[in-house]
Amino acid sequence: MKVFHYINFLMIFIFLIVICIFEETLVSSTLTLVQDECYKIENAIANKQSLKEMDIVLLVDNLEFDWIENESKLCYLVNHASIKELSYEISHLKSYLATDKIEDFKASLDAIKIYCHNYLHFMGANVHNIL
């Protein structure tokens, strides 16, 4: 009978490991996608004097679309309060784009990149997350 208890414990432990790896993969791929979109936007505005150009607008729309599409998936895995800052900063990007405030736009873009970088830094599958 003790063998079945050990087998059950092992199955539960393996199941938890798989869940943690799935969580880490989904969250890190989503945040890496957002971070890559931010780098594309940053390269597009490097030598521009105005934000009201079609390529920049499309890049910001792509960023917003990707984030909205993936945010609902992340809410099941991560505390929503932890990731809503990205939603706020993306909405700030849209408003700065409409008012053509380049410095504020860059600051908001940097805040998104810093948030993604910091969250990717401490997110990961480890024994502490499993237990």
| 82-113: pLDDT as tens digits | 778 888 999 999 899 888 888 999 999 999 99
- Grade residue 16 by pLDDT with cuts at 50, 70 and 90: confident
State the Cα angle at 23 between 18 and 87, rounded to 5°: 175
pTM summary value: 0.79
Within a 13 Å sphere around the CA of 12, how many CA atoms are in the beta-carbon half?
7
Q: Quick: pLDDT tens for 30-45.
A: 889 999 999 999 998 8
Dist CA 119 CA 82 (whole Å): 9
- 72 versus 109: the higher-pLDDT residue is 109
